[in-house]
């Protein structure tokens, strides 16, 4: 039984890898494809609502979308102190896309893997045991690190745009310890640069690992619940799923908020 349970867990935690022998250069096909599909769903729904928006008697979907837009705009106005037309759309995209990726964790554990196994066996003659599919992109550390690295690039770009390349370079060498003389400035420059580098690298690492850790843990708990008898699955699964709705929403909100905060700090002159 332990061996079967171990194989079950390993199978559910294995990605659909394009070429396992390629190592770093391989692609998690399931993570990439599901993320892409969810991105198109987000863009398609918002575009449809925007085209069909009504001033009088708006539908429930339009009201729901407008509430999300208002929430995002409120957070951007309160936190971001610079001038940029891309912050609000960026924050909206991050919140909705991350939420949709997290939401995939609420589907039954065996639903999509069983469909993939059936398709693989029926149309391609593959052994079901060798067909893998993980449907929670944010439980893949590659996804969370890719998003956080994108945020890091934006932080650097916003800093350079707001302060200039020379101003940003001066800040890297002169903060947080300010020097009162040229000699002290030279001595403190390597220390400041090291501290700035640590602070800069800590931002994407904390962003990615926070999201990945929470979703990976949630996915693991659902897998463990699926190993229990069916009556215990309902007793334990339903409360955890309800609680997990709060987690997936909170994690999407935190990722969005921290991105806005980091970009706001990037454009402020210290």
Give the domain extent around 96. 2-267
Read off the pLDDT band of 1 (50, 70, 90): very low
Structure tokens at 134: 């993980």
- CA 59 – CA 162 distance, rounded (Å): 41
Distance (Å, rounded) from C-alpha 53 to C-alpha 34?
A: 28
Percent of the chain with pLDDT over 90: 78
70: exposed, middle or buried (Cβ count in 10 Å: 0-12, 13-18, 19+)? exposed
Residue 62 main-chain phi, psi, to 5 deg: -65, -40
Tell me the Cα Rg of the chain.
Answer: 23
Tens digits of per-residue pLDDT, 23-82? Answer: 778 899 999 999 999 999 999 999 999 999 988 888 999 999 999 999 999 999 999 987
**pLDDT confidence bin for 259, thresholds 50/70/90:** very high
Strand partners, 17: 28
Given a contact cutoff of 8 angstroms between Cβ atoms, the answer to whether 248 and 103 are in contact is: yes
pTM: 0.93
How confident is the model over 176-226, as pLDDT tens digits? 888 778 888 888 899 999 999 999 999 999 999 999 999 999 999 999 999
Assess whether 192 carries a catalytic annotation.
no
What is the number of other CB atoms lying within 10 angstroms of the CB of residue 202? 10
> Which is more confidently placed, 268 or 261?
261
Distances 126 to 34, 93, 111, 117, 118 between C-alpha atoms, Å: 21, 37, 18, 8, 9
The domain total for the chain is 1
Among 18, 26, 52, 206, the active-site one is 206
Number of Cβ within 10 Å of residue 34's Cβ equals 23
Q: Name the active-site residue from 102, 208, 214, 264.
A: 214
Asked if the model's pLDDT at residue 270 lies above 90, the reply is no
State pLDDT tens for residues 118-176: 999 999 999 988 999 999 999 999 999 999 999 999 999 999 999 999 999 988 988 88
Q: Mark whether 214 is an active-site residue.
A: yes
What pLDDT is stored for residue 2 in this prediction?
A: 42
60 assigned to active site: no
d(CA 214, CA 201): 21
pLDDT at position 60 is 93
Check whether 3 has a pLDDT greater than 60: no
């Amino acid at each position: 039984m332990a061996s079967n349970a171990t194989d079950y867990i390993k199978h559910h935690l294995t990605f659909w890898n394009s070429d396992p022998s390629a190592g770093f250069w391989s692609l998690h096909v399931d993570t990439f494809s599901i993320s892409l599909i969810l991105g198109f769903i987000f863009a398609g729904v918002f575009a449809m609502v925007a085209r069909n928006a009504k001033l009088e008697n708006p539908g429930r979907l339009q009201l729901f979308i407008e509430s999300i837009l208002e929430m995002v705009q409120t957070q951007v106005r309160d936190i971001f102190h610079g001038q940029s037309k891309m912050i609000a759309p960026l924050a909206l995209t991050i919140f909705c896309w991350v939420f949709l990726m997290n939401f995939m964790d609420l589907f039954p554990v065996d639903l999509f893997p069983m469909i993939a196994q059936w398709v693989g066996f029926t149309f391609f003659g593959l052994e079901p045991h060798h067909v893998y599919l993980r449907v929670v992109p944010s439980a893949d550390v590659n996804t969370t690190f890719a998003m956080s690295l994108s945020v890091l690039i934006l932080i650097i770009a916003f800093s350079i745009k707001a302060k200039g390349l020379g101003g940003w370079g001066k800040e890297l060498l002169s903060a947080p310890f300010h020097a009162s003389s040229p000699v002290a400035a030279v001595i403190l420059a390597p220390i400041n640069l090291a501290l700035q580098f640590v602070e800069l690298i800590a931002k994407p690492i904390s962003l990615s690992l926070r999201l990945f850790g929470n979703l990976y843990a949630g996915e693991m708990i659902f897998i463990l619940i699926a190993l229990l008898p069916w009556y215990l699955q309902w007793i334990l699964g339903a409360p955890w799923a309800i609680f997990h709705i709060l987690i997936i929403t909170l994690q999407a909100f935190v990722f969005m908020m921290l991105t806005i905060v980091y970009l706001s700090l990037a454009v402020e002159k210290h």
